[in-house]
Amino acid sequence: MSSSRPAVIVGITGASGAAYALRLLQRLRELDWYVHLVVTPSGWLNVHHELDLDKDALIALADEHHGIGQVGACIASGSHATRAMIVAPCTVKSLAAIAMGLGDNLLTRAADVTLKERRRLVLMVRETPLNLAHLRNMVAVTEMGGIIFPPLPAFYHRPASIQELVNETAERALQLAGIETARPRAWQGL
């Protein structure tokens, strides 16, 4: 399916932080971006567990949903124009597969395509503490042009709620993905 709207891929894995994915999907809809959605099996479990959302409710926020095993989907090819990909949240398993160019499912293949086409890839890696393998995989993705963006909240704007923290972090991820109309709060200094 083609669209005149700019396209972005949102990937969701099973790490904690499904609220970030939900907010990204909501904002991309508000900003009128065409969204391709791909979710791992553990991502679906986590969306249900953390947000109490079913598949249909999440899929309704995207323009196209692709199953994790659909390696023949349009987003598996560099010839399909997308501007960026955000994986939110990103497990260290998916990080490792992306770092190694594994492409063993549609999410990791789409990330590989994003990197090889020199498009923006933002990985909201959710893990702590980090071991050396995690750090090396982050370095590998960074060296390939990806952006590692752990969803660490900023407190300088004095958020009043968890939702405000999620919103601000999601907005920053959109900005890092090259979405010019994203509007995270800028630090104004003291």
As annotated, the binding site for FMN includes: 14-16, 40, 91-94, 126
Inter-residue contact 42 to 69 (CB < 8 Å): no
Count the neighbouring beta carbons within 10 Å of the beta carbon of residue 174: 25
Q: What count of other Cβ atoms lies within 10 Å of the Cβ of residue 88?
A: 29
Sheet arrangement for strand 147-148: 64-66, 34-39, 7-12, 84-90, 120-125, 147-148
Query: What Å distances lie between residue 32 and 70, 75, 143, 183, 190, CA to CA?
Result: 25, 19, 31, 14, 35
Give dist(CA 121, CA 112) in Å, integer: 9
Give the residue ranges of the annotated binding site.
Answer: 14-16, 40, 91-94, 126, 156, 172
Annotated binding site for dimethylallyl phosphate: 156, 172
CA proximity to 100, closest of 84, 88, 112, 86: 112
